[in-house]
Structure 1
Amino acid sequence: MTAAPLTRDLTAGLEAAGLEEFYRDLHRHPELSMREHRTAGSLAARLRASGFETAEGIGGTGVVGVLRHGDGPTVMLRGDMDALPVREATGLAYASEHDGVMHACGHDLHVTWLAGAAESLAAGRDTWSGTLVIVGQPGEETGEGARAMVADGLHTRFPRPDAVFGQHVAPGPAGLYAHTPGLTMSAAVEVDIVIHGTGGHGSRPEATVDPIVTAAYVVARLQTVVAREIPAKEPAVLTVGRIHAGSKNNIIPAEARLGLTLRSQSPRVQEKLIAGIRRIVAGECSAAGCARPPEITVGNAFPATVNDAALDREVAAVHTELFGAGSVLDFGPAMGSEDFSLLAPDGVPYDFWHVPATPGGLWADAAGADLTEKFGNVPGNHSPLFAPDPAVIVPGVQAMVAAALTRLTH
């Protein structure tokens, strides 16, 4: 039996109601990056109940479950667990109980899919042969988690995978599966800037060097890096996502802090972005007469996610057979970023795809004449209004199970 019909058989008895309650519980109790203790414990308990050898605390709060069943390849399935510092505004009955923390990127759904896939494959282990490794990964949002798990022996303490699979919830109509062979997600890097001015009384600006004014010039000028220094054919994003300065209306502060995220699809473009930032920030600070040079720190980085093309085509074909003609689309590379690829040892193929999950009514009411226009008019990942439709729980489990079975079937 091939992967698609076998997936239907293995998931026929899936306890959808139980998985939805698990999802709602995770959504109510979000945890920030590298602090996912409750989430990790909940996932680990379900893995143990299904017969997995389970270890916790890998790379901090990571979970690894291993299920061996005869000779064959080793398949790794990954789900990330962390939430975001976002105040939820969905109005859901199961909204976050932690003010200012929310599963605004859908990682609660990822953990639910992972648990459901693990349970289905464990229950049907007599239909496949090999080793299944389940990874509950912490700290994806900060770019720490995958590196931490690898550094803590993910590939030496546990079976080394022959293929790695992962999927991510996204805005869009439920029932579609977005596959891109090759480059599918961009590289990203965070940059932190400190501008040093000279503080003083708001009534005497002439006696100060105002870092807020300098920061404003920096923010405005940084917009020209992509617009005027990067060729139009080269995708690039430079976003100032954070600016902090001051404590009181009548005090000019001594410093201003900015936080940036950069997205690109080639090392050369990333280098140009960073060089442009350094030049502009230094120039504006010099022009303002700042007390000392700015601090520019290049921090957390995410590699580009480049799917193994042959593996992606194979999984996409199985998903098409499973979900029907027209269910698989290729939207091309996204500017979003992931640390998923770091879980695959050098030379090991991996595949990462997206599962749209906008509630049907919301999608139908969204302005736009086609999918692309509507896509920009529904809440997306990281929005305080992001609320995936629980109806995608079972199909999402099936998508993961089908991918695993492309390698684990007899």
Structure 2
Amino acid sequence: MSPFRSIIDQHPLSYAPYEDFYRKLHANPELSWREFETAKAVAQKLREMSSDLDIKEGIAGTGIIAVFRNGPGKAVMLRADMDALPLKEQTRLPYASYKEMKDVHGDTQPVMHACGHDMHVTALLAAAGILLSGREHWSGTIVFLFQPAEESTSGARGMVTDGLYEKYGCPIPDVVLGQHVSFQRTGRVFTRPGLLMAGVVQMMIKIFGKGGHGSMPHMAVDPVVMAAHIVVRLQTIVSREVQPGEVGVVTVGAIHAGTANNVIPAHAELRLSVRFTTAEQRNVLVDGIQRVVHAECLAARSPQDPIFHISESTNPMINDIPTTEAVSNSFKAHFGAGHMPLTRVVPAAEDFSELATAIGKPYCFWFLGGHDGEDYDRREKEGTLNSLPSLHSPFFAPAVQPTLTTGAEALVTAALTFLSAEKS
């Protein structure tokens, strides 16, 4: 039996209020750096839990920490991210989002929690409820951290830069822990020591042509055709320059050019997401992109050199091995067959690690299954798992339960792995 089972069983949590909180969050998502109402709701929930929480708000705009000091021992940080995506939801759930809001550039966007951050927030609040109720069973300090702007891979760095550990007096944690919901079967948790997730570079490229009439392309330089050639040619960088078996991804997520059917525009913009697992691989990909773009512009007689702008970047996530092995052992004891090793590196990226690397502390991040169990089992039997709605899909929607309970218990179990067994 799990050594943490008694704490969870002796302090059973009524999940109904948290399920309601989750549905409200899901129906009211907010974009990166715009999580104002979400932060207010989180802070209010924390205040209702206990007057013993030392709550600090407004870190990097909307970030929150709630510190609970419970005697001598190690300090553990538990993190959840709060932001949503500029995506129109198509789940048709009773609590689906129909919200639109302006992003940081002033553009109005549809908004959806298509990456499960609403589940992360609610699971952390539920974990806080369990840990506060069972305070007599453990000793140490816990920091409950709610982070903005993970989707822009800049929120963690933003909190650190704004003085998380200095101005806001956040205790330096001995270990930083976090999780992410996935489209795997609900009720399961997945750990992997060492390299877990890719790093990312978000890049904007502006290429230049010569505008003209759509009927007279010979008198113009068409940046749309140039962009089309660039998109196709970029796909060869991974297939021909990255060593087979290594993780590398180059995705052109957006192309913007022109305003009319019969006008050849003067320029075009491409927005790229580049994934890598080593610094050397990052250099191969970024250098390759620049080389391809310059060559295509030269071939098309572009009148001006392209402009490259890297907006955000984060390093690959490499779980501390001893820390992750300790968490994995606790998960095995607590979840039994529900704990599974993750065999592959995840090509998606996360900025979670910057909360730990900024202060030279170890960290562990794991994945949490969220897809409905019956539907998952049916698809597995049919061989149709590839058709599951993935993260960032307009159809992505975790099963509220048992995902929420599993997520809360995973955070509690991981935290108690490093805290003293009883209060001194």
TM-score (norm: length of structure 2): 0.93
Q: 1:348 aligns with which of 353, 358, 361?
A: 361
Structure 1 residue 70: Cα displacement: 0.8
Structure 1, unpaired ranges of 5+: none
CA distance in 2, matches of 1:374, 1:131: 45
Structure 1 residue 146: Cα displacement: 0.3
1:3–1:405 Cα contact (<8 Å) kept: no
CA distance in 2, matches of 1:127, 1:367: 41
Q: 1:179 aligns with which of 176, 180, 191?
A: 191
Structure 1 residue 7: Cα displacement: 4.3
Inter-CA distance 324–374: structure 2 relative to 1 (3 Å threshold): farther
Please say if 1:77 is aligned against 2:78. yes
Q: Which residue of 2 aligns with 1:31?
A: 30
CA distance in 2, matches of 1:271, 1:60: 33
Counterparts of 1:215-230 in structure 2 under 5 Å?
A: 215-230=227-242
Structure 1 residue 169: Cα displacement: 0.2
1:367–1:377 Cα contact (<8 Å) kept: no
Structure 1 residue 3: Cα displacement: 4.2
CA distance in 1, matches of 2:294, 2:66: 49
Please say if 1:60 is aligned against 2:57. no
CA distance in 2, matches of 1:201, 1:238: 33
Q: Which residue of 1 aligns with 2:182?
A: 170
Match of 1:376, SS state, is helix
Structure 1 residue 299: Cα displacement: 2.4
Q: 1:243 aligns with which of 243, 255, 258?
A: 255
2:189–2:338 Cα contact (<8 Å) kept: no
CA deviations on 1:335-367 (whole Å, 9 max, x unpaired) are: 111000001144311110000111123313426
Please say if 1:208 is aligned against 2:209. no
Q: Which residue of 2 aligns with 1:402?
A: 413
Please say if 1:195 is aligned against 2:175. no
2:201–2:313 Cα contact (<8 Å) kept: yes
1:32–1:83 Cα contact (<8 Å) kept: yes
Inter-CA distance 6–406: structure 2 relative to 1 (3 Å threshold): farther
Q: 2:349 aligns with which of 337, 353, 370?
A: 337
Q: Which residue of 2 aligns with 1:327?
A: 339
CA distance in 1, matches of 2:380, 2:37: 39
Q: 2:389 aligns with which of 361, 379, 387?
A: 379
2:198–2:348 Cα contact (<8 Å) kept: yes
CA distance in 2, matches of 1:382, 1:351: 23
Counterparts of 1:100-111 in structure 2 under 5 Å?
A: 100-111=110-121
Structure 2, unpaired ranges of 5+: 101-109
CA distance in 2, matches of 1:46, 1:102: 22
Please say if 1:21 is aligned against 2:33. no
Q: Which residue of 1 aligns with 2:104?
A: none
2:174–2:362 Cα contact (<8 Å) kept: yes
CA deviations on 1:92-148 (whole Å, 9 max, x unpaired) are: 000003041000000000000111111111121111111110100000000110011
Q: CA RMSD in A?
A: 1.5
CA distance in 2, matches of 1:207, 1:298: 33
Residues matched between the structures, number:
406
Please say if 1:304 is aligned against 2:320. no
Amino acid at match of 2:37: R
Amino acid at match of 2:242: I
CA distance in 2, matches of 1:32, 1:406: 34
Structure 1 residue 368: Cα displacement: 6.0
CA distance in 1, matches of 2:413, 2:397: 25
Q: 2:371 aligns with which of 334, 350, 358?
A: 358
CA distance in 1, matches of 2:380, 2:185: 14
Match of 2:56, SS state, is strand
Larger deviation, residues 133-142 vs 123-132: 123-132
